[in-house]
Structure 1
């Protein structure tokens, strides 16, 4: 494992998406950011709306960077692009890099929405199985006073909390995610 919480040169790959109601694909942006908040790299990718390609496409984005200094992958959620579910455990195993997935609101979960959204029983069952595999979220109180909800692989709850706090300047959105969202929206507008 390449995760050293106190390392000054700690680098996070933050990944976020953007799509419109008429999109067939979502634009993903990955921002490599150092602990001192300097942007140190950028990568783009796509995933299929309602598809099953998010995990593999994020792995492709990570590999395309050809870097061995990324210490953590930070995701803006695990259920993206209209139920294209990211497998955080698979990302961590395939990269040997810890993964933190962030959500900003508490909820009862998405099982009801998945049941409602998919008309095919086999597709609905597959999506429900993928969703249930994600497990429960932990609440993290940020030093800004805001609460985030996280799932994590390859690190402890305490380490996940520290790294999210390192990268959150104000409010509740960590900087690698905030910048990745902005870049994904800008890229999407230009398509």
Structure 2
């Protein structure tokens, strides 16, 4: 699969940021998945809502469904807050790009502890299948970010369907009010607010 080439990355590039809501492992079978349509890091102009199985295998199809059914046909990027949703429901970023031709950028604040994740996955029957999906995403790359008020920090990204320099540029453009891109920062706030009644924490 060839990467999508961006001749010019606009400041208001349309991005769908996706995050999941909080849930209780002991009783919840599903959790909410929120997609926030954003123009760069400037403003939100749409919200999508789905559900996904806790520790299931349906999150990739859920995201593909969101991308195929959105009314925003000029969507250029899907941005994920990590690749594990609803516990260990793991996103196959290669499959998303293959089916939708929309590049995927995964963003996390800290470098993942892959050894801890691997050990946790061993408790599940389909451990090998889930671990392969994690390996598909590749090694996270460090990206320097800066908010509009001058705060500086780093995030780590994985990507599919886009070259690294373009992915870094889009992450920087969309990071404005915090040290995480606005599309996933707002997706986190909305998802936690829907489930808990009030938003909590950061993406």
Could you tell me how far 1:114 is from its partner in structure 2? 3.6
Scaled by the length of structure 1, the TM-score of the pair is: 0.89
Q: Which moved more, 1:51-60 or 1:4-13?
A: 4-13
1:36-185 equivalences under 5 Å are 37-109=42-114, 111-120=115-124, 122-143=125-146, 144-185=151-192
Q: 2:20 aligns with which of 14, 17, 22?
A: 17
What is aligned with 1:7?
10
User: CA 1:3–1:183 in structure 2 vs 1: closer, same or farther (change >3 Å)?
Assistant: farther
Counterpart-to-counterpart distance in 2, 1:80 and 1:35:
23
Other structure's SS at 1:155 match: coil
Structure 2: state its 5+ residue gaps: 198-203
Checking the alignment, whether the CA contact within 8 Å between 1:115 and 1:124 is kept in structure 2 is no
Q: The residue matched to 1:142 in structure 2 has which SS?
A: strand
Separation in 1, partners of 2:97, 2:182: 21
After TM superposition, the score normalised by the length of structure 2 is: 0.84
Unaligned runs of 5+ in 1: none
Name segments (4+ residues, structure 1) moved above 6 Å.
Answer: none
- How many equivalent pairs are there? 188
Provide the C-alpha distance between the structure 2 equivalents of 1:2 and 1:11, rounded to a whole number of angstroms: 15
CA distance 1:36–1:47, change in 2 (3 Å): closer
Deviates more, 1:22-31 or 1:96-105: 22-31
Identify if the C-alpha distance between structure 1 residues 8 and 179 changes in structure 2 by more than 3 Å, giving closer, same or farther.
same
